[in-house]
A and B are shown apart, each in its own frame.
Chain A
Amino acid sequence: MLVDLGCRPGQTVRLERRGLFGSPLYLCIGDRRMALRSEEARLLLLEPLVPAPASGDRMVASAS
């Protein structure tokens, strides 16, 4: 289903924010904004592009 919405392998994934109790996740995939529950987001295979920060939510990765 994600591919129908324009999310494809190789795109950059950025975690923008988490919901009130950690879910859903607000993700920027390519130039799209998507909300996914953490269970679904775990199914994405990601390759980190920048080191994960020591604190905070933001993380940038590439979907594969």
Chain B
Amino acid sequence: MRIALVGNPNAGKSSVFNRLTGMQQKVGNFPGVTVDRKSGSMALGDGTTAQIVDLPGLYSVYPHTPDQAVALDVLLAPAHPDYPDAVVYVADAQDLERHLLLFTQILDLGFPAWLCLNQADLAGKEGTNFKLNVLEKAFGVPVFQTNGRSGEGLPALKQSLRSAFGEAEPGPHAPKAFRPPAQEAAALLSRLPRTDSPDAAYRLLLQARHRKRLPKLLEEQRLVLDRAVQDSGLDPLDLQVQETMARYDKLGPILARAVQQRGREARNRSTQFDRIMTHPVIGTGIFFLVLLLIFQALFAWAAIPMDAIDGVFARLREGLHAVLPQGWASNLLADGLVPGIGGVLIFIPQITLLFLLIGLMEETGYMARAVYLSDNLMRRFGLNGRSFVSLISGVACAVPAIMSARSIHNTRERLATIFVTPFMPCSARLPVYVVLIAFAVPERSVLGGLLNLQGLMLFGLYMLGTMVALASAWLVKRFTGGGNGSFLLLELPDYRMPDWRNVGLTVWEKVRVFVVDAGKIIVVISMVLWALSSYGPGTAMADARAEVVLEHPEWSAETLAYQQEARALRESWAGRMGRAIEPAIAPLGFDWKIGIALITSFAAREVFVGTMATIYGAGSEDVSRLSEAMARDSHPETGQPVYTTATAVSLLLFYAFAMQCMSTLAIVRRETGSWRIPMVQLVYMTGLAYLSSLMAYQLMA
């Protein structure tokens, strides 16, 4: 049994979904497309379970974005693997008329349906009352007052679903038809395959209207629909407007009988609050303060749990060396695996905080205001206010950020957003920034202790990434003659208290994906690197150690041990790889050790810290030890330090701009349908990284 959860965006569908399915959820993709597919199971009581599929939010059966088209594809194609047996429709009770437009269309598609008036309690507090029996009679389906946040009304809904699916035929349903008079569409219908079922006829009309956007439609069906639309000479937009207005005309009298509405206090309060929050000067100032707060939180607040994780892994590593007998297995465990796992877990606090803050912006309704405030700036660079959501999400991770660009209607703006989003300073760059900033920038308070100098440097890097993303978008606009067809149509929802359960589940999912997906790569690469830097051809490494003792017998034991390891590393497999690319990277101030890190972090840039920690034997969980080891390192021939401020700045710029993420390239390929854009991205970003590092190093050194 499959039940689809359908409703407008911001109707509270996710809260209802979370309540119905609990933690029994899976996040994946709809078949063949990269649109998020959330599904979960709900026990029906008789030992069977129903699969609940949360479809992307739709305003009507006339989709505006690719993910809305996927939702429609599921509802229109009985052959679709996610085609539902029934629909639970979630409508925001505070704006029932608009939310019921799609509901009447769902009824006309012939689905058994349950209607949830979500957040009815909030509407009730403002004096709005609902006569459920009037709605049930009008629509012919069970109606419930629910609140996805508190769970109110959902046990009754579950009970109704259980009793309905326990029967041979679902439910006490007699859905009423809301189909508008067919005469407008008669010309088109007469040219389509004949059907006696009104539901099937409506389905055919919609398939004809959206034939170019429905992936599950067969090519021969598409050709038949194409011909029918051309022969009928019907204006599809006209048909849509007529249908929509006819539905509103039918809904009006029903709602007049069923809803007693008094105040709109929450709406008025939000509009009043917006006079401050969307003020061109005050609102923009607040917006930048929010961004600054996020960056300071990532650098300052996250430090406490990070230090705790740091300590645990440092003690674990030392403990393993003390307890286990010397040998390759104990070295692999203590110097390869443990630092690798530590290098993943250390970033959980920052990722948690970032997604918590982004989740709060979305839940409270502030994200829509951020889109409003940023649209004018974004459009100057050939983007859209909605691009802001992708760009700000790109601060966490480019992969979901690129997927979120689906909500941008204009194809050129969408592709431009996808193209520039990887420039945004994602969380994977954070470890690299942390290490290099700790090395190059003194830890000092400024502005009377209000701000931290290292935090300001981090803020500067984030601003740099953002500015380069915008400048690149402007270049895209210049070269593609952008601007046509661009528009913004944005609803500004009421401000509301966040649903902590929703925010918590989102944060949990993002952290899980980071630990499982990115973590696997980091741990494996850390172990491979340990092997490559621990072994070399023949006796090369042992010979190198012996040479140091012979050449410098006067050195202290500590210096000798350090120089022996450095020389041995140079002769290892990893050292040989780094030396092979050294001529190309030397003008940037990078030596062969950095070369190793560049090679390994091509797949995922966060591997840089783990690589450097492995090379310097510092343990990737210990940023200060790594910085100290880097500061001590010197060129064997000249004795000059390898890492200077110029090297650190050059490296920071390289990591700020280079495309070093296989997952991002893969997701861009899937979102754009070809390798063209990801390949252009790879060449453009890496070329820009090389040139800017070269200029910075040559000027500063």
* Count of B interface residues, CB-CB < 8 Å: 39
Could you tell me if A20 and B372 are in contact, using CB atoms closer than 8 angstroms?
A: no
**Nearest-CB distance from A58 to chain B (Å)?**
11
Q: How far is the CB of B321 from chain A (nearest CB, A)?
A: 59
* CB-based contact A37/B487 at 8 Å: yes
Of the candidates A4, A17, A33, which one forms a contact with B279 in the assembled complex, judged by CB atoms under 8 Å apart? Answer: A17
Chain B residues near A26 (CB-CB < 8 A): 274, 278, 372, 492
Q: How many residues of A contact B (CB 8 A)?
A: 26
Q: Is A50 an interface residue (CB 8 A)?
A: no
**B270 neighbours in A (Cβ, 8 Å):** 33
Q: Say how far A39's CB is from chain B's closest CB, in angstroms.
A: 7
- Whether the Cβ atoms of B271 and A2 lie closer than 8 Å is no
- Could you tell me if A19 and B372 are in contact, using CB atoms closer than 8 angstroms? yes
One of B271, B385, B493 near A24 (C-beta < 8 A): B385
Residue of A nearest to B284 (CB): A20
Of B64, B95, B275, B385, which one neighbours A35 at CB under 8 angstroms? Answer: B385
Partner pick for B98 among A1, A6, A21, A36, CB 8 A cutoff? A6
Closest residue of B by beta carbon distance from A20:
B280
Q: A3-B241, A33-B274 are in contact. Are A24 and B488 (CB under 8 A)?
A: yes
User: Chain A contacts of B64 at CB under 8 A?
Assistant: 1, 4
Known: A6-B95, A33-B492, A40-B488. A16 touches B244 (CB 8 A): no
A19 contacts B376, CB within 8 Å?
Answer: yes
* A-contact bits for B485-508, CB 8 A (1 contact / 0 none): 001111111000000000000000
Contact partners of A32 in chain B: CB under 8 A:
95, 98, 491
B59 within 8 A of A: yes
| Contact residues of B between 568 and 623, Cβ < 8 Å to A | none
CB atoms of A5 and B489 under 8 A apart: yes
- B-facing mask of A21-64, CB < 8 A → 1, else 0? 10110101001111111011000000000000000000000000
Interface centre among A8, A31, A33 (most CB of B within 10 A): A33
B376 touches which of A5, A23, A36, A39 (Cβ 8 Å): A23
Q: Provided the pairs A1-B64, A8-B248, A34-B489 are in contact, do residues A28 and B280 lie with their beta carbons within 8 angstroms?
A: no
**What is the CA–CA distance of A54 and B641 in the complex, to the nearest angstrom?**
69
Q: Are A20 and B491 in contact (CB under 8 A)?
A: no
Determine the chain A residues whose CB is within 8 A of the CB of B227 once the complex forms: none
What 0/1 readout, one digit per residue, does chain B (237-249) give for beta carbons within 8 Å of chain A? 0000100110010
Contacts of B377 in A (CB 8 A): 20
If the complex has contacts A3-B241, A5-B98, A18-B280, are A37 and B60 also in contact, measured as CB distance less than 8 A? no
The answer to whether A6 touches B280, judged by C-beta atoms less than 8 angstroms apart, is no
Contact with A along B308-321 (1 / 0, CB 8 A): 00000000000000
Closest to A21 in B: B376
Contact check, B375 vs A37: say whether CB atoms are below 8 A apart.
yes
Q: Enumerate B291-325 residues with CB–CB distance to A below 8 Å.
A: none
A17 vs B64: C-alpha distance when bound (angstroms): 26
Q: At the interface, yes or no: B199 with Cβ under 8 Å from chain A?
A: no
Q: Which residues of A contact B372 (CB under 8 A)?
A: 19, 24, 26, 35
B62 within 8 A of A: yes
CB within 8 Å of A: which B366-404 residues? 368, 371-373, 375-377, 379, 385
Are B375 and A35 touching (Cβ within 8 A)? yes
Partner of A34, one of B60, B245, B487, B492: B492
When the two chains form their complex, are residues B274 and A4 in contact, meaning their CB atoms are under 8 A apart? no
Q: Which residues of B lie under 8 Å from residue A17 when comparing CB positions? A: 274-275, 278-280
With A3-B244, A4-B60 as known contacts, state yes or no: A24 contacts B492, CB within 8 Å: no
Whether, in the assembled complex, B264 has its beta carbon less than 8 Å from a beta carbon of chain A, the answer is yes
Question: Which one of A3, A4, A37 contacts B488 once the chains associate, using CB atoms below 8 Å?
Answer: A37
Knowing A4-B59, A6-B95, A33-B491 are in contact, say whether A28-B271 is a contact too (CB < 8 A): yes
- Residues from chain A with a CB closer than 8 A to the CB of B375 are 19, 23-24, 35, 37
CA distance A20 to B241 in the complex (A): 33
Contact B490–A34 (Cβ < 8 Å): yes
CB contact under 8 A between A33 and B271, given known A1-B64, A17-B279 = yes
Closest to A19 in B: B376
Interface centre among A5, A28, A32, A36 (most CB of B within 10 A): A5
- Interface 0/1 of B120-148, CB less than 8 Å to A: 00000000000000000000000000000
Nearest neighbor of B369 in chain A, beta-carbon distance: A35
Given contacts A4-B62, A35-B375, contact A19 B280 (CB under 8 A): yes
Report B208 CB to chain A, min CB distance, Å. Answer: 19
Judge whether B97 is part of the interface by a CB distance below 8 angstroms.
yes
Contacts of B520 in A (CB 8 A): none
B101 at the interface (CB under 8 A from A): yes
> How far is B274's CA from A16's CA once the two chains are assembled, in angstroms?
9
In the bound complex, what is the Cα–Cα distance between A21 and B669 (angstroms)? 36
Q: Which residue of B lies closest to A33 (CB)?
A: B492
Nearest-neighbour CB distance to chain A for B62, whole angstroms, equals 6
Q: B245 contacts which chain A residues (CB < 8 A)?
A: 3, 8
B487 adjacent to A5 (CB under 8 Å)? no
Most chain A CB within 10 A, of B98, B274, B385, is at: B98
A2 — which chain B residues lie within 8 A by C-beta?
489
| Contact A20-B487, Cβ < 8 Å, known A3-B245, A26-B274 | no
* 23 A-B residue pairings within 8 Å (CB atoms): A1-B59, A3-B241, A5-B98, A18-B280, A19-B372, A20-B280, A20-B281, A20-B284, A23-B375, A24-B376, A24-B490, A26-B372, A26-B492, A28-B271, A32-B95, A32-B98, A33-B271, A33-B492, A36-B488, A36-B489, A37-B375, A40-B487, A40-B489
The 4 residue pairs across chains A and B that have the minimum distance between CB atoms: A6-B98, A33-B492, A4-B59, A35-B490
Apart from the given pairs A17-B278, A33-B493, 10 other A-B contacts in the complex at a CB distance below 8 Å: A3-B248, A4-B64, A5-B491, A6-B95, A19-B372, A19-B376, A33-B270, A35-B375, A36-B488, A40-B488
